[in-house]
Structure formats: structure tokens, C-alpha cells
Structure 1
């Protein structure tokens, strides 16, 4: 093997190793819950099944939100999601699920324009300003927490807490590495603090 090929191979192994290590660090950061009192929770949307019920992943987020709400960590919940390809408004499905499981409907704020984490963060900032609130408790999958926190911080929200449900699926093997790319794209993205 030539010296050039050895260097190329070493560089490739180093790049792959760095990517895997960074993905693991990101996942570990998301697994570490940061529990504390806040003004509002932001639960981020995910797939709604063709039947109109939350997917298992979304239900896990909603169950975690109910648990934390009942424990008194926040008095308000923002259900943030968009219109999924199945034809359902994720935020409405989330609100209905939360209300059916004990969160008073008048304590649930809807963000039906939360099609992306970026949009959810920007919309949350507007809701906080309208309601004169300051702190947010974000709830999503563990691998999504670091980017969610980054989006909220870059939008201008300073006090952020977070938690993820104890829900894992095979899809995480794809989602966690993809999330690393999303995290770095948010580091480079311009955020409007309006």
C-alpha cells in the first residue's frame, strides 16, 4: 500500500471515528435531563398515525409532558407541530391527547406552525412575549434535545430546561447521527430574535 493510500485510509478512519464520537456525545447530552421549574413546557411534534393517534414516539413525549406537568414543573404547555403528510395537525392531536390525560385544555397553547425545530423555537419566543413568560422546558427525544435547546437559545430564550422520555427504537440508529448534522447546521444558521 502506498503512503498516500495509508494517509487517506487513516484520514477516513479518523473522520468516521470523530463523527461516531460526536454522535455519542450528543446523545449522552440529550439523555441527561435538566429538571427545574419553568413558565411553560414546549413539547415538540412528531408523526401522527393514519388513524389520527400519536405515533409511539410522539405518545412517549406527551406522556413525559403529562408526568412533568402533574409534578408541577410548569403551569403551561405549548403543543408545537405542523401538518403531517397523514393530514393531521400535530398540535391539535397533541392537545387532545394531553387534555385526555389530565392537562387542562385551557393550559395548552397551540403552535400549528411548528413544522421544524427552528420554527417551533421562533414561535415559542413569540408566545413567551405575548404571555410575558421567560423560561421554557423542552420535551423531545434524547437525541433531539441538544438541537432543540440550541434553537431556543439562539432565538433569544435564556432559561431552558429539558427532558426526554425513556423511549428508544431501532430508528434512533439513523436519527442520532442525522441529528448531529442538524445541530451543526443550527450553529451556522442565522436566528431572528425579533
Structure 2
């Protein structure tokens, strides 16, 4: 019985390692092409109303894309954040402070998680006549984001990896190793924040 349990644990660990490797390999590939809009996925806002490190990395990458002429418009997608500091407002204000005109920014105030952002993208893209999109997030988030957008029927999607691998990413990679199969199985399409 102990041998069977050891084998089972070994198989689970092997699958998890293969999954984490696949997430990193797929996520590290940039697919930056001129697109109608960039969609920046929200992340934590600090209590003082400033973007967290992860959010700032995403926003800085978006500014690079905008300044390079890769996108003329940006959708900032996030949830309520901390009291008095909703993620999309903080994101917009940060982008404006970096020189992006407010008129080039569309707010998605109900992008509380990756699935909600992808779902909300459908009517926002239709409303503004957007057909192609560059999604901006960290490398470990790209595979799940690709799946979420594909599940919403958005197929002209490109990806801009934000930031560089850091030791603190190990926890996020572990979370994505569990989250990606759950998305694929349709088990993480609820409106709970993530």
C-alpha cells in the first residue's frame, strides 16, 4: 500500500512539474503585433491607492506598447480594489501620468477576475469596433488568459509579457498550475475574485 501511495504522489508531482514548465514556456513567448486595443488585466492596488508591483509592471508594459504605436486604445480591467481606489481608476490614472491620453483609455469596472475580463471584453470590443487585442499580463498568467479569451470566442488575441521572472513568481506559477486545468474543465468561470 505504501508503494502505491508513493507512486501516486510521484505521478502527481511529475504532472505538476510538467504543468508548471509548460506554463512558463508558453508564457515566456511574446506575441506582440499591431492590434486595435490592449487589455490590461488588473491586480492588487495598495491601501494608499498606488498600483502594486505586479500591476505597475503590467501598466509599464502597456505604456511601452502604446508609445511604440502597437495599440491606439487601452482597456483597463479590474475590480473594486481597496475602498476609494477601484483598480481601473488607479490603472487609468497611472497610465495618464505616464503620458497616455485619457481619451485612449476605456474602463472595465467589473473585471474582477480573468474570466470576467474576457467575458467583458466581448461587448466592449463590439461597442468600440475593436477586432484584435493584445493582452498584457505576466508570463505565468498568459496561458490561462489565452484560454479565457478563447472560451469567449475572441480569437485575434496577441500577448505582451510584462516583467521578468522573479523568485516571488513561484507561488503564482503554482496557483496557475492548478487554475489552468480548472479553467479548461470549466470549473473556474464564476464571478469570484482571483
User: Considering the TM-score relative to the shorter chain, is it more than 0.5?
Assistant: yes
Tell me the secondary structure at the aligned position of residue 78 of structure 1.
strand
The answer for the alignment partner of 2:17 in structure 1 is 20
Contact 1:44 1:79 in 2 (8 A): yes
Normalising by structure 1, report the TM-score: 0.91
The answer for the alignment partner of 2:192 in structure 1 is none
The answer for the alignment partner of 2:132 in structure 1 is 135
Normalising by structure 2, report the TM-score: 0.91
**C-alpha deviations, 1:154-174, integer Å up to 9, x for none?**
101110100122244443111
Instruction: Output the CA distance in 1 between the equivalents of 2:51 and 2:172.
Output: 19
In the alignment, structure 1 segments of 5+ residues that lack a partner are none
Kindly indicate whether residue 119 of structure 2 is the aligned counterpart of residue 122 of structure 1. Answer: yes
Give the alignment's Cα RMSD to 1 decimal: 1.5
Instruction: Output the CA distance in 1 between the equivalents of 2:101 and 2:172.
Output: 32
Instruction: Output the CA distance in 2 between the equivalents of 1:19 and 1:131.
Output: 40
Instruction: Output the CA distance in 2 between the equivalents of 1:79 and 1:69.
Output: 13
Contact 1:48 1:86 in 2 (8 A): no
Instruction: Output the CA distance in 2 between the equivalents of 1:168 and 1:89.
Output: 27
Instruction: Output the CA distance in 1 between the equivalents of 2:77 and 2:88.
Output: 5
**C-alpha deviations, 1:43-65, integer Å up to 9, x for none?**
00111111111011111110000
The answer for the alignment partner of 1:49 in structure 2 is 46
> Greater CA radius of gyration, 1 or 2?
1
Q: 155, 158, 178: which is aligned to 2:155?
A: 158
Using the TM superposition, give the Cα deviation of residue 87 of structure 1 relative to its aligned residue in structure 2, in angstroms: 4.4
Aligned residues: 188
Instruction: Output the CA distance in 2 between the equivalents of 1:60 and 1:108.
Output: 18
Using the TM superposition, give the Cα deviation of residue 86 of structure 1 relative to its aligned residue in structure 2, in angstroms: 5.1
Using the TM superposition, give the Cα deviation of residue 115 of structure 1 relative to its aligned residue in structure 2, in angstroms: 0.3
In the alignment, structure 2 segments of 5+ residues that lack a partner are 190-194
Q: 67, 70, 73: which is aligned to 2:67?
A: 70
